[in-house]
Amino acid sequence: MSQLAPNGQKTPRVTIWFDGDCPLCRAEIALYQKLDRKAGRVAFVDLTGDGTCPLNRADMLARFHAQEGGGPVISGAKAFAAMWKQVTPFQPLGYLAQLPIILPFLDWLYDQFLKVRPRLQTIMVAREKR
């Protein structure tokens, strides 16, 4: 469970930045938000809103980013693993994803996804307009 801040609010263990203009991202983040709602382990920041942006906004919009505690901002498969570790039922996947033999493969897969992401976004936007 997350720790409580002095004001009684839950303190998230990881912060996730996402592209709120991306229909794929919105759908995926909505699932994680629903699964994490009760535990409150993850803070989700929409980069298209007024959310804080610790790095160049364009760079952060181009790739998935996370930060565990006060650690460095991470991206790609590492960021997904950090989030998955906090979200039931994805926790086992989060720990597996961090293994040195698996992480490079997941990063490669994510890079392949990023190549087709614009096309998938176009399809999703067209579906939303129906």
What pLDDT, on a 0 to 100 scale, did the predictor assign at position 47? 93
pLDDT of residue 130: 80
**Distance (Å, whole) CA 16 – CA 27:** 14
pLDDT tens readout for residues 86-128:
999 999 999 999 999 999 999 999 999 999 999 998 998 888 8
Please say if the pLDDT value at position 43 is more than 90: yes
pLDDT digits (tens, 9 = 90+) for 14-27: 999 999 999 999 99
Question: If you average pLDDT over residues 48-61, what whole number do you get?
Answer: 87
Q: What is the pTM of this model?
A: 0.88
- In sequence order, the β-bridge partners of residue 15 are 43, 67
Give the whole-number percent of the chain exceeding pLDDT 70. 92
pLDDT at 7 over 50: no
Residue 119 has what pLDDT? 93
Chain mean pLDDT for the chain:
90
The structural domains of the chain, with segments of one domain joined by +, span: 3-129
* Contact between 96 and 106 (Cβ < 8 Å): no
80 contacts: CB under 8 Å, gap ≥ 6: 64, 66, 94, 97, 106, 110
pLDDT score at 10: 73
